[in-house]
Amino acid sequence: MRKLPGIIFAILSSTAFGFMPIFAKIAYNSGSNATTLLSFRFLLAAIMLLIYFYIKKISLNINKKQLYIILLVGLLGYTSTGIVLFLSYNYISVGLATTMHFVYPAIVIVLNYIVYKETLTKNKILALLISLIGVYVLIGINSNEINLKGAFLALLSGFTFAGCVMGINHPELKKLDNSVQVFYFSVCAGTVFLIFSIFMGQLVLQFNIYILSSYIGISLISTIISIVLFIKAVKIIGASSASILGTFEPIVSIIMGIILFNEQLSFTIIVGTLLILASVFIIAKDQQ
């Protein structure tokens, strides 16, 4: 399978993304807040990448069109997605917020069909339907206790992240090194979050081992590694397939939520997980 690396990259990316709400919850419980965490998430990622570029002597040159697209994706996409998703964690559980966020694969598939004329295969549509059913089952975990504000924020994050994926899939950005894209996305988003948190008086300069660990973890694992791998996956198997495989993320979030925060394990979690795994196998078959 020539596209097997793309499938592996997508699954590894979603696994790394799956740790994001865990790092967020640890930071929140230790005294941080959403805007401060997001500021450190992206700015630390940018600093780490800048050091990497200096050591590896990687050029940061981009043309005007690439800069325009990056600004749109970084400012309107990652910034808005981060705000609404992280704020949703204050109202609903880690697993529930992450699962509701996964309306985005369906949006990506529709937009890619309209904008980029990406082929809709039977296996891709079947995988999407099964994954969405799996997400719906997982949402049923706390369906009787859903906070409407939290649910709205989590769903909105799915729409804004779909915009990010569409931007990443733009032909101009595919010409750039994956890590260079992440660097510029991080600079844009981190700067906006820092200004916003200062202006709103929400910047928390309180540090302890838990906060520092969560900042470093979310910057390295759930930003640099996850986004670089996702971009690699999109280049190999396309945005639609990579997005569907991204539904592996809530499985990681829910498992870690159970382990670290004693969130409930139920039969619906098992069924939802199996359905999402089934969609992964169908996508794998589609890419043969």
User: Which are the contacts of 258, defined by CB distance < 8 A and separation ≥ 6?
Assistant: 264, 265
Residue with tokens 């309306």, as numbered in its chain: 103
Which phi and psi (to 5°) does residue 146 adopt? -75, 125
Which candidate, 2, 29, 8, places its Cα nearest to that of 261?
A: 29
| pLDDT at residue number 121 | 79
Q: How many CA atoms lie within 13 A of 56 on its CB side?
A: 12
Between CA 179 and CA 176 the distance in angstroms is: 8
Q: What are phi and psi of 86, to 5 degrees?
A: -70, -35
Segment 194-215, tens digit of pLDDT: 998 999 899 999 899 999 999 9
Going by pLDDT thresholds of 50, 70 and 90, the confidence category of residue 95 is low
- Name the nearest CA neighbour of 31 among 196, 205, 261, 191: 205
Residue 24 binned pLDDT confidence (cut-offs 50, 70, 90):
confident
| Domain region containing 106 | 4-286
Q: Quickly state the pLDDT bin for 286 (edges 50, 70, 90).
A: low
Cα separation values, 94 from 10, 26, 107, 109, 263, Å: 21, 11, 22, 25, 9
C-alpha 130 chain-centroid distance? 20
| pLDDT for the residue numbered 42 | 93
For all residues of the chain together, what is the average pLDDT?
84
**Mean pLDDT confidence for 145-174:** 85
Average pLDDT of the segment spanning 119-123: 79
CA atoms of 12 and 275, how far apart (whole Å):
18
CB 276 within 8 A of CB 247: yes
pLDDT > 70? residue 167: yes
The total domain count for the chain is: 1
DSSP label at residue 264:
P
The answer to whether 204 and 32 have CB atoms below 8 angstroms apart is yes
Burial classification of residue 131, based on how many CB atoms lie within 10 Å of its CB (0-12 exposed, 13-18 middle, 19 or more buried)? buried
